[in-house]
Chain A
Amino acid sequence: EPEVTQTPSHQVTQMGQEVILRCVPISNHLYFYWYRQILGQKVEFLVSFYNNEISEKSEIFDDQFSVERPDGSNFTLKIRSTKLEDSAMYFCASRGTPSTDTQYFGPGTRLTVL
């Protein structure tokens, strides 16, 4: 069964450093998402992406964040200058077509900012 994959599984970085989290969505899916889950808190929506542009973003997704689909398979989340409060599990998800409404999630990347 096709699945969403994410790399790395765990990333440790120093405050102020840039990080790029990578996701490979399910092939032929058209909609892509990033969510995050701070330890002990709810899973929160960050951003959705369709047709090579952001379709919706949350208040969390400020100028420090960016997303990109650099080629036909990868979907990345970049945090330019990490803060301690960016420590969280980051989940990528993808959805097939406008007529399908199920998002399939990857296993997540645990980001630890020191």
Chain B
Amino acid sequence: AQSVTQPDIHITVSEGASLELRCNYSYGATPYLFWYVQSPGQGLQLLLKYFSGDTLVQGIKGFEAEFKRSQSSFNLRKPSVHWSDAAEYFCAVGPKAAGNKLTFGGGTRVLVKP
């Protein structure tokens, strides 16, 4: 069965510092991979996605993620964090098939210090 692990429950980072959020997945084949962000009181907003091709994908708000097949990882990065990046971040995987049920990780809550 597919699963997604986000090892870090909480991360605190200073504004302007870099951020990396880890995501490891277990899947029978190469899945579709997603990062979503949930700001307080808001829904899930898609940051970026990986389907195929270039393993480094760019997303919105200055985020990028790198797919590493050998490590079954899809880590999210941002070079310089802004206070507005404080939120909860979810990694998700889905099958390359119709239906496309997403399996989510437990989320990483990011706190940004001034």
Contacts and interface: CB of A to CB of B under 8 A. Distances in A.
Interface stretch (B18-26, B68-76, B98-106): B98-106
B12 interface: no
Q: Is the interface of A mostly helix, strand, loop or mixed?
A: strand
Contact of A103 (B42, B96, B98, B100): B100
Interface string A36-70: 00000111110010100001101000000000000
Interface residues of B, number: 24
Contacts of B46: 102-105
A106 interface: yes
B104 A42 contact: yes
A102 B43 contact: no
Interface residues of A, number: 27
A95 interface: yes
A95 B43 contact: no
Interface string B92-112: 101010111111111100000
Interface of B: 32, 34, 36, 42-46, 49, 51, 90, 92, 94, 96, 98-107
